[in-house]
Structure 1
């Protein structure tokens, strides 16, 4: 995927941690390795050592962020060798190291030992490695068995709904009397979190009868901190909250407060915190951890292997339809499976033939001429490219974006000294429909310049996307910067490619599966509590009557999330009087999925696209934007030939631009969808997407009105 490729490019080129964060790496596999077999942390340490010493501080900051994000300290390299040396000090022997089998710690230590053998040449580097080992030690300690525990990422909007629910004091049904005031909460949340509290509130004792708990030895601030994390609590408040969490055996809050207090240790607080530590140490031994909640579901689209195999095999369209018909002739008399396979191949060849024929139209021909001759963006816009196939390729096999990169680099520097204009054209091409991940056919591009005489160089582009092509060019140019010492001549080109990759990164983040909105990281146990709360049906006070059954929930959660539901439940109408809502046009499975995402930002089981569409319709109707955004992302990954029409129609009717873009991209790649559109089988989608009517049914003339 584009984000993975861009991550390694940014890591190798020593981009700042802010730039890495913008890549939006939700779902990234932090256990992946570099193409050379090195782990993420080993690769980053190696890259940092190649920078000037003043950049080492930035390298340490990025190292900390990589570890917090999920990069493993203990993961080992599968292969690779590093050699460090000074280009301007050829007499200094380089430091070489085999990294196979080494993790980040052993790599840094082995390299440090090597450098100490000739320390006079490696003082800054050895000091940096010492700090790396300190950072790794600190991170390893924090991620060990005493750490707060695993964390999950949820949509920020869901976290805000939880906060609103906590703040909805009119729905609180539990009172906690503290030493200096009263604090209220939802009983079902405390019962889900603590077996001790559940026993109290379900007993025939005073607490159970009155739904009131007295803890006169605790301040209201400490109880409030237990219920929510306040802004910068002091050490004393945090310790009291820890005492309450320990008393009620709420392990997740104990873990979070332990982490918080670890960072509060000072000369003044050391004795008090140290006194609490051994007293609370054994809670994990006496309280069972709940089962890990399933990871947030993400719908996965079926692989479009036809297009992938075609690109991999570099299938070219025949010049005549009769050539394609040979495929079917060869299958005559064969098995049914052979005939079906031949039909599929024929459809594939026909699709390529249509692309080739389209390239001969005046519209496409003019586009490629304007692109090759480096016309300005305004001239390209005037071509009126409505209906242009942005997945088409240049006659030499290059994609639209790869061709634009090539054309830009072949201009005289005076033509693209205003790099911003070149990038604006690139951005416009992408927004118009050009795909940064589409791969080129063909062989290689040869670069030579007439206005100065460096040796020409070639770059193979067959099988490369625009990202891979830009990176391959950049590496070639950087090699020439060092070897041929022509940095003044090629600095503009290399800088242009750097900006292109940054643009691709921004586009990838905007269109990635994680663009539903900002996300926050929370302790996994907190998410489990909300899941337990949803499952606590005895505390539900809202009934939703669906098309095939009844689903229940908490009134305060729905009111916190939706102004539409709030208006219904606070009105004198039937919904307000009975706390029952009827939605007979929605299935129970769809409503349950909506509630699962609302409560937990996840789903227990992977839903089908019809259930997801039903949940999306409900979220859109009730104006729950966070759930709409999450389901939009989910459905973008569920588009297949079978689901295309339904998902595309919902995207268009509800004005969901990200989902519409995903559907348009799928349409551009699916020969079956294109065939259905041409045959008029997807009339509604064709009219909404392209303004086309059914070709088999001419439009009826509008009846003439007779004025009386």
Structure 2
């Protein structure tokens, strides 16, 4: 509905039509604020208010001023809504009502702070375990939609403080927040907590801050990968998705471990120098147009092709499927697909997937994914427990800061038969 209103406004020949469209968009504030979930591709391009202002005739300065006022009111409403959901830690509400075009760099709330500050301030460090888990999920989503952990607060007087109870003033620690970013503020808290003022134990809060910092660092790695991304109209994505589904054009068959998957030869040879050499040579792949990949499941090949065609997929792959697709993209030297899938793997790192993802990252030299795994592994308790037990593969053990060789006890438990040269 919003799109039809904007289109009508842009092409209207009379001022009254433009005014009606502007007021309709203003009145229908839900159309500006509500969406079912975060969807970056659908939220790119001009903001609705900018589109309407561009459609106004020069002879209507009063209408332009009125529209500017409405835009300002809508922005204020959006900021208040976002701040409200952040305050109550309601991620689903935030996802549903945060405007697509929301400026995540604006300062929120009565104290005018960046959105991520509300997850490293004094109040957030007093949350229960369940509340902290909600906070971490919200931080992860905010980083995905554009919140910047390095956005600095202007220099100002003021500080956050904590103490271990009203009757323990000797445990109080204080951090001045002026000039800090959310990231630097988290480190400032850690420095103060390590002093153990008044013999206070801040272990729980330190663990939470390290988890937040880990999310910040993983987000930075993802932004490095996505630096060259551009907005593409949905119609173009739909076109390439149609090409992906156009089986009549598929003349190359991949023979996987559990079935066959087809694709178009021209797409494959343009994307991959390895596949180009195979399909254009006198080898059996070139003559039969059949490529054996028995070490990969069909789901991995399908995901590789989905991302190759459209940089997206309609499936919901697990980390094993994504790793299979990464292996194929890396093997066939399709570096753009490797990067896209690595970005997907960043968000899949947890205690259960850590070993598989970290080992693949190290063995394939995927530097940004290695850094993300290092950051996660250094703070996750389950990973650290596996490290102490010696349950991690050699490559992963080195990644989290332990020597490649096993512990002395493990080495002594193995009996070796030695041979002499003479």
TM-score between the two structures when normalised by the length of structure 1: 0.32
Structure 1 residues 620 and 517: alpha-carbon distance in aligned structure 2, compared to 1, 3 A threshold: farther
Q: Which of the residues 258, 264, 271 maps onto 1:554?
A: 264
Tell me if 1:106 matches 2:70: yes
Structure 1 residues 517 and 615: alpha-carbon distance in aligned structure 2, compared to 1, 3 A threshold: farther
Which residue of structure 1 aligns with residue 377 of structure 2? 667
8 A Cα contact 1:543 1:580, kept in partner: yes
Which residue of structure 1 aligns with residue 403 of structure 2? 691
Q: Which of the residues 314, 319, 328 maps onto 1:604?
A: 314
Output one character per residue of 1:248-302: Cα deviation in whole Å (capped at 9) or x when no partner.
xxxxxxxxxxxxxxxxxxxxxxxxxxxxxxxxxxxxxxxxxxxxxxxxxxxxxxx
Which residue of structure 1 aligns with residue 78 of structure 2? none
Which residue of structure 2 aligns with residue 466 of structure 1? 183
Which residue of structure 2 aligns with residue 73 of structure 1? 49
* CA shift for structure 1 position 466: 3.2
Secondary structure, aligned partner of 1:697: helix
Structure 1 residues 595 and 441: alpha-carbon distance in aligned structure 2, compared to 1, 3 A threshold: farther
Q: Distance in 2 between matches of 1:559 and 1:552?
A: 14
Which residue of structure 2 aligns with residue 525 of structure 1? 235
8 A Cα contact 1:514 1:633, kept in partner: no
8 A Cα contact 1:547 1:587, kept in partner: yes
Output one character per residue of 1:638-663: Cα deviation in whole Å (capped at 9) or x when no partner.
00110000000000000111111111
Structure 1 residues 694 and 507: alpha-carbon distance in aligned structure 2, compared to 1, 3 A threshold: closer
Q: Distance in 2 between matches of 1:557 and 1:577?
A: 18
Secondary structure, aligned partner of 1:519: coil
Secondary structure, aligned partner of 1:602: coil
Q: Distance in 1 between matches of 2:187 and 2:352?
A: 35
Output one character per residue of 1:320-376: Cα deviation in whole Å (capped at 9) or x when no partner.
xxxxxxxxxxxxxxxxxxxxx9xxxxxxxxxxxxxxxxxxxxxxxxxxxxxxxxxxx
8 A Cα contact 1:513 1:636, kept in partner: no
Which residue of structure 1 aligns with residue 37 of structure 2? none
Question: Where in structure 1 are there 5+ consecutive unaligned residues?
Answer: 1-30, 34-66, 75-101, 111-149, 151-308, 316-340, 342-400, 406-438, 447-457, 472-505
Tell me if 1:582 matches 2:292: yes
* CA shift for structure 1 position 584: 0.1
Tell me how many residue pairs correspond in the alignment: 256
The one of the two structures with greater contact order (alpha-carbon pairs below 8 A, sep at least 6) is 1
* CA shift for structure 1 position 529: 0.8
Secondary structure, aligned partner of 1:698: helix
8 A Cα contact 1:612 1:631, kept in partner: yes
Secondary structure, aligned partner of 1:682: coil
Q: Distance in 1 between matches of 2:125 and 2:405?
A: 32
Q: Distance in 2 between matches of 1:703 and 1:70?
A: 72
* CA shift for structure 1 position 668: 2.1
Question: Where in structure 2 are there 5+ consecutive unaligned residues?
Answer: 1-31, 35-42, 51-65, 75-99, 101-122, 131-148, 153-159, 164-171, 189-215
Output one character per residue of 1:431-477: Cα deviation in whole Å (capped at 9) or x when no partner.
xxxxxxxx99765547xxxxxxxxxxx5599x994345799xxxxxx
